[in-house]
Amino acid sequence: MALEDLRNEMETCRRCSACKFIPLEKVDNYEHVNVCPSIARYDFHTYSAGGRMVFAVAKLEDRIDYSDKLLEVVYNCQMCGACDVSCKYAMDMEVMEPLYEFRIRCVEDGQTLPALDKVINSLRKQGTMVPGAKAKRGAWAEGLDIKDVTKEKVKVLYHVGCRTSYDKDLWKVAKATVSLLSKAGVDVGIAGAEEVCCGGRAYQMGYKDDFLKQAEQNLETFRKSGAEILVTSCAEGYQAFKVLYDKYGMQPDIEVLHITEYLDRLITEGRLKPKKKVNMRVTYHDPCYLGRLGEPYIHWEGREIPGHIRVFDPPKEFRRGTYGVYEPPRDVLKSIPGLKLTEMDRIKEYAWCCGAGGGVCDSNPDYAMWTARERISEAESTGAEAMVTACPWCEKTFDDAIRESGSSLKLYDVVELLDKAV
Amino acid sequence: MALNRDFYKAVEDVLGPEYISDDPVVTESYSFPIRAATAGPKGEYLPRFEAITLPKNTREVQAIVKLCNKYKVQFKASSTGWLYSDPAGPDCIKIDLRRMNSILEINEKNMYAVVEPYVIYAQLQAELMKRGLNCNVTGAGSNCSALPLAAHVNLGHLSQTGSYGERNQLALEWVTGDGEIVRMGSLGSSDEWFCGDGPGPSLRGIIRGNTVPLGGLGVFTAAAQKVYHWPGPPTFSIEGVCPHYSPSELPPGFMIRYLSFKTVDAMIEAVRKIGESEIGFELMGFNAAMMASNVATDNEEDLRYFKQFSDQVQGPGFMVNIAATSQRDFKYKKRVLEMIMEQTDALSLKDVEDPKLGAGFLWRFIRTVGSIRETSRATGWGGGTVGGTDVFPLMTRYIMYTVDLKQELIDKGMILDDAIYPFVQSIEHGHTGHGEILIRYAPTNAEQMDNIQGFLNRAANKRAIEGRFGVPQHVWSDELHDMYGPEACNYHMLLRKIKKTFDPNGASESSNYITAKDV
């Protein structure tokens, strides 16, 4: 939907500032009331979803034009979707859609940031969203006994994702995943060097055409694999396959699961039995793209019925983060003997972002680090000795922030802890 | 008009370059209105602020204000900011108080709290509840500033037991229009915030009257307010995922009902009796439409609930809840409420009696989170008319005296047909009351808006004066003050003298308050 078509959504903003805070029913202390990293960091209303609605309308009306400042504001946003949830607690209007469409318009008009162009050039030339990566895609699996889906049929296709593939520090997660799936007797394979980027991050950055190209390639890989289930341990990959592809009418003919969903299923079916104690007090960080933005896409076509209340024909169900993936990772953690899960103030649909999303880790690493440090501080306040997450982008960003800040907080992926217990 | 660069540089030196901007992208985002349909008769937008500033403390606010006076630049301060205090003239800057967001003190023993302007009520209330205390929350919602002077009249759902801004206001720190720092009440003679009237200067009647100055009389940088006993749990355990939140059950000692009555007189009698017996924790005269919007999670559901509730009410009504300090107290309050219901032929809305649904209502009313749903979800635009604050029956009768105006608009199809019952509320157990008519509609152009809101304003003002109902609380301009002043002891002349005295250069932009013209 073009930005022009979202004008009424943007103009419905009442400037109540709900987009800046966690849903107000859930506030139970002074701290951790902010939900949007961008307004929390930069303070001007401009950086909130409400401010973004206003200047987007102004841009449509040519009251403002492209400028360095405009691009700085547009791209200093992780596209984490927290504003969308908090707004829609009370309102019936789209918030994330205009944010996506504004970026897409920027790219169409050639208004981008060099740092993001570099990432996209990396995608176009090297096939990865990790520019300058030294490793080769699929190298993480060298020496592992795992099927190659380009050569043989499997039931489960494991998509590893750019971040894990090209970051040797994260290979342990991919290896633990394969280890667990093998222990459960799952017929699993990977595309190895033939795996391609999901395109989700490109979409977040506004490069819609690049996203669509990646989607087409992936659909072909999925089709050829003959697999029944697609599993990924990357939250952004999950959201791309499950939500974005569907949004553009490219829903894969394969069941898409995040690894935590699949492991939870395997545990429930008794195919994985966590028995070894992992004596640790942990807190869980909900990745934005697995949680609130991971809820299924809801297709709707129709019209707004003219009148004094916004209702639609046929009725429109707004996505509000209600059906994101929140419980499976928690259920997996709760299945681990000896492990104690303690929750942070901002969780599930109103979780604070890790800082990496929307290309911010490339366009403004300092801001990404600031956002991550905020979360680390919140995790520390729970008394947990470790923070657990379920996305390599989160893990990478937190790892950098922990190193930088000298925090003693340990960091794990859910998969790693389960692997210790099985 | 370009801002004087020397002025900009001077403010930048105070705040640092990160906290001032005159970039159009930034100033535009503070604009009002945002949609062309709501712009002026010729489609014009209001002037933009010349720059936005973000001070961190009172010293920085004072420095900005003094520079404004020196360079003849106007300023307007606001905190969380709903729409209507923002329009500005040219050569005016914004003081956005967002970085002043600390709870300075919660004094449990003497039952007051001191906050800076960008603490929101949700934060303050949450911290108070952990200490067995509670505060009044402005009816606009807990997303709003907890500074009692920032929140218009500051009436809210809790005003039955938690009063409102004018009465809760204690000591205050104020940067006047010409840049003096005034420490009002006990703060004027000590570092204590416990009293608004002394020892030290008492200026409560200066810094607010019928309403607050809406940013037109300098900047309020910190304030103390009374807080009250909270008999409930330290936190509410909320289940579900947004937007389907609800406490699992009503906490012990709590009860909520929505009561409707056959006549306005019966409703007034019930309010009087509940007030006299002091059994109500909150008493808010919502109508069926507001109850529906409060519980519904989208507009479709809103319409369904509205029909469902409308079928169950017999006339005007209100939400009342009970918060008891003991089992015995609860039994007593419940019994008294039942007797009052019997005596006034009250009909209880069955859906609210449902423990699960009722618990949700209770928490949304206490935390005050439904206001955005009730006023803004329909189209993002709304309006209405408000009465003043006076004895409850008078205020009820005033607002009932204007409901035919809403009916007229409904009959013409110009606004949403959500029935005409206004909402009226009781304050301090019925000591005073207040009423409002809310309307919701889709704005299309300036003429249509004038035919709706303009018509309502003009007619309601005329009736307020003719009926001797006192000065309403939407008197936000020279024009309105000039109209009401002669009808009310020429108060506007005094207000102008106050404005002139504390803001001699007119630096504090006051289009929503009063100017010092003719003084």
Structure tokens at A2: 């073009």
Same-domain status, B368 and B385: no
Same-domain status, B383 and B332: no
- Asked if residue B332 belongs to a domain, the reply is yes
- Angstroms from A219 CA to nearest CA on chain B: 32
Structure tokens at B18: 């990160």
Give the residue on B whose Cα is nearest the Cα of A325: B241
Smallest Cβ distance to A309: which of B124, B241, B303?
A: B303
- Asked if residue B277 belongs to a domain, the reply is yes
Asked if B159 and B438 count as a contact pair (C-beta separation under 8 A), the reply is no
Are B34 and A11 in contact (CB < 8 Å)? Answer: yes
Are B30 and A28 in contact (CB < 8 Å)? Answer: no
Question: How far apart (Å, rounded) are the C-alpha atoms in residues B101 and B89?
Answer: 27
Tens digit of pLDDT for each residue in A61-111? 898 999 999 999 999 999 999 999 999 999 999 999 999 999 999 999 999
Which pLDDT value is given to residue A346? Answer: 98
Largest CA distance in chain B: 71
CA dihedral A34, A40, A43, A46 (to 10 degrees): -90
Which pLDDT value is given to residue A229? Answer: 98
- Asked if residue B247 belongs to a domain, the reply is yes
Smallest Cβ distance to A309: which of B96, B372, B378?
A: B378
Tens digit of pLDDT for each residue in A108-133? 999 999 999 999 999 999 888 988 88
Which pLDDT value is given to residue B192? Answer: 93
Question: How far apart (Å, rounded) are the C-alpha atoms in residues A33 and A345?
Answer: 9
Choose from A4, A29, A309 for mutation: most chain B CBs within 10 A: A309
Smallest Cβ distance to B126: which of A11, A12, A27?
A: A27
Choose from A25, A73, A304, A319 for mutation: most chain B CBs within 10 A: A25
Question: How far apart (Å, rounded) are the C-alpha atoms in residues A9 and B240?
Answer: 26
In Å, what is the CA distance from A28 to each residue of A53, B120, B123? 29, 12, 7
Residues 6+ apart with CB under 8 A from A15: A50, A54, B32, B34, B81, B82, B83
Angle between helices A259-268 and A171-183 (to 10 degrees): 30
Instruction: Single out the residue in B229, B259, B283 at which a domain terminates.
Output: B229
Question: How far apart (Å, rounded) are the C-alpha atoms in residues A240 and A162?
Answer: 13
Question: How far apart (Å, rounded) are the C-alpha atoms in residues A356 and A396?
Answer: 9
Asked if B387 and B461 count as a contact pair (C-beta separation under 8 A), the reply is no
Question: How far apart (Å, rounded) are the C-alpha atoms in residues A350 and A344?
Answer: 11
**Quick check: helix, strand or coil at residue B225?**
strand
Q: Is the dihedral of CA A57, A60, A66, A67 positive or negative?
A: negative
- Asked if residue B193 belongs to a domain, the reply is yes
Same-domain status, B326 and B248: yes
Same-domain status, B215 and B287: no
Chain A (114-143) residues lying within 8 Å, Cβ to Cβ, of chain B: none
- Asked if residue B50 belongs to a domain, the reply is no
Question: How far apart (Å, rounded) are the C-alpha atoms in residues B262 and B346?
Answer: 8
- Angstroms from B488 CA to nearest CA on chain A: 34
Which pLDDT value is given to residue A372? Answer: 98
Question: How far apart (Å, rounded) are the C-alpha atoms in residues A339 and A420?
Answer: 11
Q: Which domains does chain A have, with CATH numbers?
A: 1-111 (no CATH), 115-268 (3.40.50.1860)
Are B25 and A29 in contact (CB < 8 Å)? Answer: no
DSSP-assigned beta bridge partners for residue B106: B113
Which pLDDT value is given to residue B88? Answer: 66
Give the length of chain B. 519
Smallest Cβ distance to B373: which of A43, A54, A90?
A: A90
Give this complex's ipTM: 0.96
Give the residue on B whose Cα is nearest the Cα of A56: B29
- Asked if residue B38 belongs to a domain, the reply is no
Tell me the CATH number at B460. 3.30.70
Are A16 and B298 in contact (CB < 8 Å)? Answer: no
Same-domain status, B157 and B280: no
Are B380 and A53 in contact (CB < 8 Å)? Answer: no
Using a CB-CB distance cutoff of 8 angstroms, which residues of chain A are in contact with residue B52? 44-45
Angle made by CA atoms A159, A165, A168, in degrees to the nearest 5? 145
Using a CB-CB distance cutoff of 8 angstroms, which residues of chain B are in contact with residue A45? 29-30, 52, 81, 96, 98
The DSSP secondary-structure symbol of B37 reads: G
Tell me the CATH number at B212. 3.30.465.10
Which 3-state string (H, E, C) describes B282-341? EEEECCHHHHHHHHCCCHHHHHHHHHHHHCCCCCCEEEEEEECCCHHHHHHHHHHHHHHH
Same-domain status, B183 and B249: no
Tell me the CATH number at B275. 3.30.70.3450
Q: Does A298 touch chain B if contact means CB atoms closer than 8 Å?
A: no
Which pLDDT value is given to residue B31? Answer: 82
- Asked if residue B63 belongs to a domain, the reply is no
How much helix, strand and coil, in percent to the nearest 5, is found in chain A?
50, 10, 40
- Asked if residue B331 belongs to a domain, the reply is yes
Do the strands B169-175 and B181-184 form a parallel or antiparallel pair, or are they unpaired?
A: antiparallel
Domain count, chain B: 3
DSSP-assigned beta bridge partners for residue A231: A158, A257
Enclosing H/E stretch for A230: strand A229-232
Does A252 sit behind a cis peptide bond, omega within 30 degrees of 0 on the bond before it?
no
Instruction: Single out the residue in B335, B353, B373 at which a domain terminates.
Output: B373
Smallest Cβ distance to B243: which of A44, A307, A320?
A: A320
Which pLDDT value is given to residue B291? Answer: 96
Tens digit of pLDDT for each residue in B465-483? 999 999 999 898 999 999 9
Which pLDDT value is given to residue A296? Answer: 97
Same-domain status, B244 and B350: yes
Give the residue on A whose Cα is nearest the Cα of B83: A15
Choose from B32, B143, B242, B364 for mutation: most chain A CBs within 10 A: B242
Same-domain status, B209 and B135: yes
Could you list the residue range(s) of the whole structural domain that residue B301 is in?
Answer: 238-373
User: What DSSP string runs through B421-462?
Assistant: PPEEEEETTTTEEEEEEEEE-----HHHHIIIIIHHHHHHHH
Q: Does A15 touch chain B if contact means CB atoms closer than 8 Å?
A: yes
Which pLDDT value is given to residue A388? Answer: 98
Question: How far apart (Å, rounded) are the C-alpha atoms in residues A55 and A69?
Answer: 12
Same-domain status, B256 and B280: yes
- Angstroms from A88 CA to nearest CA on chain B: 7
Residues 6+ apart with CB under 8 A from A209: none
Identify the CA nearest to B32 among candidates B78, B76, B83: B83
Q: Is the dihedral of CA B377, B380, B385, B388 positive or negative?
A: positive
Same-domain status, B156 and B255: no
Which pLDDT value is given to residue B84? Answer: 52
Does B251 sit behind a cis peptide bond, omega within 30 degrees of 0 on the bond before it?
no
Same-domain status, B339 and B278: yes
Give the residue on B whose Cα is nearest the Cα of A324: B241
Asked if A76 and A38 count as a contact pair (C-beta separation under 8 A), the reply is yes
**High-pLDDT (> 70) share of chain A, %:** 100
Residue A300 reports pLDDT greater than 60:
yes
- Angstroms from A98 CA to nearest CA on chain B: 15
Instruction: Single out the residue in B373, B392, B423 at which a domain terminates.
Output: B373
Structure tokens at B196: 């608004």
- Angstroms from A289 CA to nearest CA on chain B: 16
Q: pLDDT of chain B along its 519 residues, tens only? A: 579 999 999 999 999 999 999 999 999 998 876 677 777 766 667 778 999 999 999 999 999 999 999 999 999 999 998 765 565 678 899 999 999 999 999 999 999 999 999 999 999 999 999 999 999 999 999 999 999 887 788 999 999 999 999 899 999 999 999 999 999 999 999 989 999 988 877 888 888 878 889 899 999 999 999 999 999 999 998 999 999 999 988 999 999 999 999 999 999 999 999 999 999 999 999 999 999 999 999 999 999 999 999 999 999 999 999 999 999 999 999 999 999 999 999 999 999 999 999 999 999 999 999 999 999 999 999 999 999 999 999 999 898 889 999 999 999 999 999 988 888 899 999 999 999 999 999 999 889 999 999 999 999 999 999 999 999 998 989 999 999 999 999 999 999 999 999 999 999 999 889 999 988
Q: Does A2 touch chain B if contact means CB atoms closer than 8 Å?
A: no
In Å, what is the CA distance from B114 to each residue of A419, B156, B170? 51, 19, 9
Are A322 and B244 in contact (CB < 8 Å)? Answer: yes
CA dihedral A139, A140, A146, A152 (to 10 degrees): -40
Same-domain status, B163 and B197: yes
Are B363 and A25 in contact (CB < 8 Å)? Answer: yes
